[in-house]
Amino acid sequence: MYQLIRKYLFQQEPEEIHEKTIHSLRLVEDSAPGKAILKMIYQIRDERLETKLWGITFPNPVGLAAGFDKNAEVYHALGALGFGFVEVGTLTPQGQPGNPKPRVFRLPEHQALINRMGFNNQGAYLASQRLVDYAYSDVPIGINIGKNKLTPNEEAVSDYSKCMDMLYAYGHYFVINISSPNTPNLRDLQETENLRALIRAVREKAAELEGRGMKKKPILLKVAPDMADEQMHDVVHAAVEEGISGLIATNTTVSREAVGNHPKAGEAGGLSGRPLTDRSTQWIKAIYQEVGGQVPIVGVGGIFTGADAYSKIRAGASLVQVYTGMIYQGPGIAKQINKELIKLLARDGFQHISEAVGVDAT
């Protein structure tokens, strides 16, 4: 059905459609019957897909990446769509409008998007008010945090610490986002010494909050796909040495190699979707070979099908996330992927999804 209406939807501006979708999901968010209907249509429960990491149970390994529910408004409704977990944000200490519009561009011929949103969100405090009942969600809720655009990198640690102060009581896990290409100089925080200082400060803040009685939460780092091999090696080892709980690979790319002739290829921003499929899988495999035995990896980038997700799992991802794939495939994408994963596990003789993690990386 979604494929039938997608042509109509794609005639409208991407952000306009997104806002209408969020509005529709808000109608379901606080409606028990509404969520029950979505669950009946979209959810699949199968013990072979249940994944346990960091003491958290994920009913299946297919999550929704940050960027869709930026302000933590509809995470219950999204969980009802069959996702195994939902990540909200990116959230910054102060609300900010993001970059000027238009800032999202479809490249249908490539099943891709370019976005330069710029961490538009209403701020961490308002999100915290909406996250008070996160524990009642059917699936784990992640919180992705970043710095405000006007905060210089020398003061970035303060922004991430402020986010932790306001949000640490909520959510099942946290993500440090320093890999978006749409906030000026943000990726400079991936330089080894900057990265070490940032992770150390975030973990110290977490320890302080845990000392006040808050539950300990895993803290993950989201990395970019545009690093050189040597930088990737330095980044992931520094992150693990500083006590990071997991790695999310990867964010969007600034490369246009795969879409070079497209009329919108010259638009600034991060490219996501099908052109990132193989690139992100290669990074997952490389990261797994470096530190896969020490921390779990969440794979993201160009996942449209069960085969795409399975390739990332076999490369070393314990969990995967979709976003652009949902724009092109529709709200049933998690169900579709999970059904295919079950078939692929049976084909390869695996009794559980965890048995497939990293088999192509050894």
Q: Which of the residues 180, 245, 280, 311 is marked catalytic?
A: 180
Tell how strand 141-145 and strand 104-107 pair up.
Answer: unpaired
Question: Which residue bears the tokens 């699949």?
Answer: 44
Task: Please say if 180 is a catalytic residue.
Answer: yes
- Distance (Å, rounded) from C-alpha 48 to C-alpha 26? 32
Locate 346 and state its tokens: 């049976």
Catalytic amino acids? 180
